[in-house]
A and B are shown apart, each in its own frame.
Chain A
């Protein structure tokens, strides 16, 4: 089971490969990824697969709301393993 910190780090590096205009310094946990168009709808299936892999559990697509992907902090909070004992 990965910790939230590991999930955060892996998400960060994935976002940086997908959004070449963002520098490591420019990307914070609160950077609005979709609102600022660093990521687009077309990134979502790959992002979902990554999140499912990092938490090792499926994510029900029909329950998703657009705000769930706002920024890295929100994603870790929403999909991270908080509360799950290793």
Chain B
């Protein structure tokens, strides 16, 4: 029996209620910017030229600053940047798939009826993001496989709710840094810029919701959880942080970019000082949020 078995009734509704009018304001904004992705997708070109255009900012390519990067000529760098863009979109697809599952599970749950309107927007928006990401991947390349695989674990509802929203927030915060930078990068192909810009604009609402909800949920639950549960949650979040970052170094990408020994390439890139510094810089904001809120008590050392 886990130490969370005696946790009190679900706290999610209480935490959401404490967000006050944030939820109704976000719902209003979602309605105002409701999208039809198919109109945009129709305007995208039938094909793209990965060696002629940048699809990722070179500074955000996973080999940037490593010795291997220096050996690549410009077309090879662009080709790698293209596959990395496809990987970035693919990991968003897999992340959003899990996110949609979690949101759908909570839709109209008895204690959550009051926030179902916003859960509908959240779900709808993630589905549309995946239509853009998937549209790009299937039209110009493929969807990279995910290495996520969940074993059955028994947790109390409050732990399950907290982990779900905290992981969502960590994932979205890291993605958003990439979106923000790449939306502003004039070197990028217009479709790549659009995808990053559109996702950033939409995600800014989810990030507001995520930060407030995770803080409120933590505050509501932590007094009843006990030290073991808190320690266990922290360990899982730290490892989630590591795994979220690991997925940016995908051997399948290096193989498609024509590099030998793709798993060793991934391992060397992961350990390269420039890449460790990059991960730390991109993570600063979300890490200080998590530590200031008391959710993490130390930084996830394995991620850097």
Contacts and interface: CB of A to CB of B under 8 A. Distances in A.
A18 B251 contact: no
B52 interface: no
Nearest to B148: A45
Interface residues of A, number: 20
A31 B145 CA distance: 30
Contacts of B246: 45-46, 49
Binding site secondary structure of chain B: helix
Interface in B205-244: 235-236, 239-240, 242-243
A46 B263 contact: no
Nearest to B239: A42
A66 B145 contact: no
A48 B148 CA distance: 9
B239 A40 contact: yes
Nearest to B243: A45
Interface in A25-79: 34, 40-46, 48-49, 52-53, 56, 58, 61, 64, 66, 69
B150 A41 contact: yes
Contacts of A53: 251, 263-264, 266-267
A41 B151 contact: yes
A18 B239 contact: yes
Interface string A11-28: 000000110000000000
Contacts of B242: 46
A55 to B, nearest CB: 9
A44 B251 contact: no
A61 B239 contact: no
Given A34-B151, A66-B152, A45 B247 contact: yes
A63 to B, nearest CB: 11
B149 A64 contact: yes
A42 B147 contact: no
Interface residues of B, number: 25
A41 B239 CA distance: 10
B284 interface: no
Contacts of B267: 53
B146 interface: yes
A42 B263 contact: no
Contact of B149 (A17, A18, A44, A56): A44
A46 B150 CA distance: 13
A64 B236 CA distance: 22
B266 A61 contact: no
Interface string B169-206: 00000000000000000000000000000000000000
A42 B243 contact: yes
A66 B246 CA distance: 22
Contacts of A64: 149
A64 B266 CA distance: 22
A64 B151 CA distance: 11
B153 interface: yes
B263 A52 contact: yes
A9 to B, nearest CB: 16
Given A18-B239, A40-B239, A53-B264, A45 B147 contact: yes
A39 to B, nearest CB: 9
Interface in B128-168: 145-153
Given A41-B150, A66-B151, A66-B152, A46 B264 contact: no
8 contacts: A41-B149, A41-B151, A42-B239, A42-B240, A45-B147, A49-B147, A53-B264, A61-B145
Given A43-B239, A49-B246, A66-B152, 14 more contacts: A17-B302, A40-B239, A41-B149, A41-B153, A44-B150, A44-B151, A45-B147, A46-B242, A53-B263, A53-B267, A58-B251, A61-B146, A61-B148, A69-B151
